[in-house]
Amino acid sequence: MQEAGGRFPASPTIVPSLPTSSYQELWITDEVLFNYQRCHRRAFLDVYGEARFRDPPSDYLSKLRQDSLTHQQTVLGEQSVHIPNYRRGDWQAGAEATLALMQQGVDRIAKGVLLTRRPDGVVLQSCPDLLVKQPGYSNLGNWLYAPIEIKLGKRPKLDYQIIATFHTYILATVQGAWAEAAWLVLRHRGLYEIDLVELLPKLEAVLEGCVTALANQQEPEVFIAHSRCDLCHWFSHCYGIAEHQQHLSLLPGVTPSRYLHLKALDLVTVEALAEITPKQIEMLPGFGIQVAQKLVQQAQSTLHNQALLRHSSSPIAPLVDDELPTAAIELYFDIEAAPEQNLVYLHGVLVVDRLQQTETFHGLLADHPAQEKQIWQQFLELVWQYPTAPIFHFCPYEVQTVRRLAIEYDTPVAAIDPLVDRFVDLHERVTRLVTLPIESYALKPIARWLGFDWRDADANGAQSIYWYAQWLTTQDRTFLNAILRYNEDDCRATHRVKDWLVEFIRRS
């Protein structure tokens, strides 16, 4: 193998210490390696799991895949490319067809296949979105190829960079020379060059961890972390196991690193955690007294299926009027948005008139993305009709978005600051003041625990984004009605949570 610029090792490193026989059947693809970085268990299940346990893709996931494909086609459509001709799924044929194009010296190859077998028997396979011809020296002649990975994301996340480096790594064995560069094409950001010198050791560490874990065939323990699990196709399978095991990851506040420390002390059940005193775990790395108190109280709340005051010793009832104001008119506010497109398409406001005993929902909906400014102005007019009404919402997103829209549409600060002063974040209040026997402090689990039901049980923010995209494509108002129904239910659920919280604190 020749080196293109002398910055890289002469060949990809092979781990010599493990017996080659254990690796004979191991096939590591870029997809497996990508998933391994997010969850070791997912990579394991992708290789060894039974297909019948996989969830079908949700509407939202299908939309993401379609968006990603469209983005790739847009980028690729801007340049002429060669696509290797092979039967789908026949990776060996794909690798041979790709190599043939590389040997011909074509300028760009889209959807190529790179394949190599390491001396220890592990097969490495990757499918770079684009291979671009570069000047240099390789087994091919006076040229070589460098990979480009096209991603829908806006940021050059480490796991994207590792995969682009993985392409370079296999490419080095295929063409007998290291590419000098590798790039990501990100949405709204264009080309991002990867620092291969920095990334290569990271890739090797991730790759060897992945090879070892998969060669051992040990199924990693389940750990439900909603941020990474919610879109995973093994979710129902893993969640079922976690529920059956009453796994501690279902307890809010138990992060993967905290779990390892608790496990070392043999505190792996809700009962065990509920029976200790916070002092017994406050010294654990990353804990401290506050985390320890929260975790123990969370376990007690879950064990006894009971809401508990977070600071039962302090007199918080007098705080209620300040922190959770009850007024003649109250507004409950929820936004529907597509953050990837920086687009707000619905401001939902429930006006609760306690004197008249009426509840009126206003769904300020953009029929088209170009109406974002119009619905923003409608929202301002509506909320300023009730200049002293507190505005309840759930999580900081509504405040952040109101501030962003104010800048975007040159709304005077004098109209925004007093408005934001009226905002009351119920998520902040709930998590600071009480502990509930639920798995997550999102609006749905809290309101459902209080007996509130959404008219569409499967609706969620991601589904709303899918519905809006469907509306734009089909002009079928059924999708808009579904969004309005879901948003109204979110506002009503927020109202239910607020009333319950005030009442619970007053009674406690």
Note the residues at the interface with ligand SF4 (CB under 6 A). Answer: 39, 41-42, 45, 222-223, 228-229, 232, 234-235, 238
Nearest to 324 by CA among 403, 400, 434, 413: 434
What's the closest the beta carbon of residue 43 comes to ligand SF4, in angstroms? 8
What's the closest the beta carbon of residue 435 comes to ligand SF4, in angstroms? 25
What's the closest the beta carbon of residue 497 comes to ligand SF4, in angstroms? 27
What's the closest the beta carbon of residue 204 comes to ligand SF4, in angstroms? 23
Give the single-character DSSP code of 81.
-
Is the CB of 95 or the CB of 206 nearer to ligand SF4?
206
Structure tokens at 166: 């993985």
Is the CB of 160 or the CB of 376 nearer to ligand SF4?
160
Is the CB of 39 or the CB of 352 nearer to ligand SF4?
39
What's the closest the beta carbon of residue 284 comes to ligand SF4, in angstroms? 23
What's the closest the beta carbon of residue 277 comes to ligand SF4, in angstroms? 31
What's the closest the beta carbon of residue 44 comes to ligand SF4, in angstroms? 8
What's the closest the beta carbon of residue 262 comes to ligand SF4, in angstroms? 18
What's the closest the beta carbon of residue 55 comes to ligand SF4, in angstroms? 9
What's the closest the beta carbon of residue 464 comes to ligand SF4, in angstroms? 22
b/e burial code for range 99-113 (CB count within 10 A of at least 16 → b) = bebbeeeeebbbbbb
- Please report, for residues 134, 175, 481, the alpha-carbon distance to residue 141 in angstroms, rounded to integers and kept in the order given: 11, 9, 61
Report strand pairing: 391-393 vs 329-338: parallel
What's the closest the beta carbon of residue 46 comes to ligand SF4, in angstroms? 8
Structure tokens at 133: 């011809």
Question: 59-77 vs 461-474: helix axis angle to the nearest 10?
Answer: 60
Are the C-beta atoms of 138 and 144 separated by less than 8 Å?
Answer: yes
CA–CA separation, 300 and 282 (whole Å): 17
φ and ψ at residue 22, rounded to 5 degrees: -70, -15
Residue 444 CA from chain centroid, whole number: 18
CA–CA separation, 332 and 336 (whole Å): 14
Torsion of CA 421, 424, 425, 429, to 10 degrees: 120
Torsion of CA 131, 132, 138, 142, to 10 degrees: 150
Is the CB of 142 or the CB of 227 nearer to ligand SF4?
227
What's the closest the beta carbon of residue 232 comes to ligand SF4, in angstroms? 3
DSSP SS3 for 387:
coil
Is the CB of 171 or the CB of 229 nearer to ligand SF4?
229
Nearest to 161 by CA among 183, 190, 144: 183
Is the CB of 34 or the CB of 467 nearer to ligand SF4?
34
Place of tokens 């809010």: 252
CA–CA separation, 20 and 75 (whole Å): 41
User: How many helices and strands in the chain, by DSSP H and E?
Assistant: 19, 15
Structure tokens at 323: 């922190």
Is the CB of 39 or the CB of 200 nearer to ligand SF4?
39
- Please report, for residues 130, 134, 180, 365, the alpha-carbon distance to residue 100 in angstroms, rounded to integers and kept in the order given: 15, 17, 22, 54
CA–CA separation, 257 and 239 (whole Å): 19
Nearest to 429 by CA among 492, 336, 486, 499: 499
DSSP SS3 for 183:
strand
What's the closest the beta carbon of residue 45 comes to ligand SF4, in angstroms? 5
Sign for the pseudo-dihedral over CA of 80, 86, 92, 97: negative
DSSP SS3 for 244:
helix
Is the CB of 235 or the CB of 287 nearer to ligand SF4?
235
